[in-house]
Structure 1
Amino acid sequence: MSSPAPFSEVVRDRRAIRSFLGKIVTDDVLHAVLDEAQQAPSNSNTQPWIVHIARGAARDRLSKALLRAEDEERYSLDFPYDGSVYEGAYAQRRQNQARGLLDALGVSRDDETGRRLATRCNLEFFGAPQVALLCVPGFAGPRITADAGMYAQTFLLSLAARGLGGVAQTTIGFYADTVRETLGLPDDHKLLFGMSFGYPDKHWTARTPRTGRATLVESVRFHE
């Protein structure tokens, strides 16, 4: 197993991967990533995350079940999502990201079929042979979900440090009941989102633009 890259390089080079090779992540590499993700900070060291990894036959069953749920419009979110709450610069960044991705896929703004097919790729895990489902306990509120977000960031950075890639997928969180039913998860494992991960398709990354980042002036306020 090769040594991880320096943090400053990893945090700047990491990107959301939406096309993967079919190569399985071996147990030794996966366990190293999971062990590092487990070091994420959390309020009072409660570590309130529960992670389910689906691979092999379970991964395939889950993808088929998610696609059926999408066909039948059987949505079941454990945590509400409303894109309309984003305003101003936040809304603009969201629109820019979506437009850049669709442009890279050759999908026009008025191509409803193409847009739907692009969304459905989430439910096929972008070809990744494994997917992580990030859950929290049933009593979770905003502070606990924030802790789970720190876990996800650590998990994604650990992947990137090893030449792997991942993508956090809000779309998978739209089908929480389907995930629980298919994988046999307890009712009190509340799904935040999924993270497909594996070996990036470098042909895809080469033709897909990177998203920009706000300047520090836009995001940081100093008080002295």
Structure 2
Amino acid sequence: MSTPVLAFDETVRQRSSVRAFLPTPLTDAQIQAVLQDAQYSPSNCNTQPWHVHIVSGETKTRLSQLMTDNDLAGKQKPDFTFSYDDFYGDYFDRSQEQARLYYQALGVAREDKNSRRDHYVRNYHFFDAPHAAFLFMPSFGDNIRVASDMGMYGQSFLLSLTARGFAGIPQTLLGFHADLVREALGVPEEYRLLFGISFGYADTSKVAANVRMPRIPVESSVVMHD
């Protein structure tokens, strides 16, 4: 079983959302090591609400086609709402800047809607990653506390990938076909799909694996009190 090779500060700073992967699969032992790390994530009252389904091989290929077809048919049905219209102020500006920087790095013009659509659909092909994790959760109250637990689990999963020399990307879009994914994977109705994480080895020969987004200064997010 592999062991982390990066210090914590290196791991946090090297982690990025990779959008190009090599087809080389991780071994079962490597995936289990990442899952064991993520299992130590904190959660409210130690509820440990994460229910994770890992897809690879034929299951991943079949699910990819199902989600692509569902999207083209306009049948998105997420368990949780998402709309850019809900963003405002600096939050909206950052979301737009993310898209601008990404497509600029790829050489895709703003008016080139066909190319942008092609890159959008690549989400459903997991950016060619050999594996994807679908993160399901039970529903408690308004789900805010549960979702925060899931976010901490997702971050632990992603940092473990980075520390071990792998790569990943959290994808909100993979949660947009909740009923379809539940049915395909045999997940009970009471579990809600929050998001997915595609993962494997980064294909660093591709621009999409090397795009990094800027971070705002700490003082823009944190207020210190003496």
Instruction: State TM-score, norm by structure 1.
Output: 0.96
Is residue 151 of structure 1 aligned with residue 145 of structure 2?
A: no
How many residue pairs match? The answer is 224
Distance 1:172 1:118 in 2: 14
Q: Secondary structure at the match of 2:98?
A: helix
Partner of 1:36: 37
Partner of 2:109: 108
Distance 1:204 1:8 in 2: 25
Partner of 1:177: 179
Q: Residues 131-142 of structure 1 correspond to what in structure 2 (within 5 A)?
A: 131-139=132-140, 141-142=143-144
Aligned residues of 1:22 and 1:129 also touching (Cα < 8 A):
yes
Aligned residues of 1:104 and 1:208 also touching (Cα < 8 A):
no
Partner of 1:198: 200
Structure 1 residue 106, shift from structure 2 partner: 2.0
Partner of 1:99: 100
Q: Secondary structure at the match of 2:123?
A: helix
Distance 1:57 1:138 in 2: 30
Distance 2:145 2:164 in 1: 30
Is residue 83 of structure 1 aligned with residue 84 of structure 2?
A: yes
Aligned residues of 2:203 and 2:209 also touching (Cα < 8 A):
no
Distance 1:94 1:62 in 2: 28
Aligned residues of 1:2 and 1:162 also touching (Cα < 8 A):
yes
Distance 1:113 1:123 in 2: 16
Distance 1:10 1:157 in 2: 6
Unaligned runs of 5+ in 1: none
Partner of 1:3: 3
Partner of 2:15: 14
Partner of 1:186: 188
Instruction: State TM-score, norm by structure 2.
Output: 0.95
Distance 1:200 1:207 in 2: 6
Instruction: Provide the alpha-carbon RMSD of the alignment.
Output: 1.4
Is residue 25 of structure 1 aligned with residue 26 of structure 2?
A: yes
Runs of 4 or more above 6 Å deviation: none
Q: Secondary structure at the match of 1:202?
A: coil
Distance 1:92 1:56 in 2: 38
Q: Secondary structure at the match of 1:131?
A: strand
Q: Residues 123-138 of structure 1 correspond to what in structure 2 (within 5 A)?
A: 123-138=124-139
